[in-house]
Amino acid sequence: MAAADYKTIDLLVLDVDGVLTDGRIILGPDGEETKVFNVRDGWGMRAWRRSGRTLAIITGRSSPAVAQRGDELGVEIVRQGAKRKLPVYRQVLAELGVPAERTAVMGVAVNALRTASPVSDTHVRAH
């Protein structure tokens, strides 16, 4: 995808673990998860929103920290506990009225990568 093509993207769908975090899951003695988010990602997400575009989070795990972070950053849709991401992804597109062609998806799991039709080899190491 060329840089100019990004202007056609209206919706950015993000996974959490390994995308908005470093991939570690920290469990406390009571089993509660702790996640560490990077403030720079937050700046980027706010810039995306300021440009008039929409954000969604679809993640397989559930954590109060994800809901809080999504709320802080103005993420329109946060779906947690999505073991099968493709149906949830399709629901989000329908709910927002955004076609898949105008959507970018960032995820690390094969499950997340199967949600959208690829437009190019988007693996970081390919560039």
pLDDT in tens, 96-111: 999 999 999 988 665 5
Q: What is the pTM of this model?
A: 0.81
Long-range contacts of range 20-23, CB-CB < 8 Å, 24 or more positions apart? 20/57, 20/69, 23/108
Q: Average pLDDT of 22-37?
A: 89
> Where along the chain do its domains lie?
21-118
Between residues 114 and 85, the one the model is more confident about: 85
pLDDT mean over 106-125: 57
CATH 3.40.50.300 applies to domain 21-118: no
pLDDT digits (tens, 9 = 90+) for 61-77: 999 999 999 999 999 99
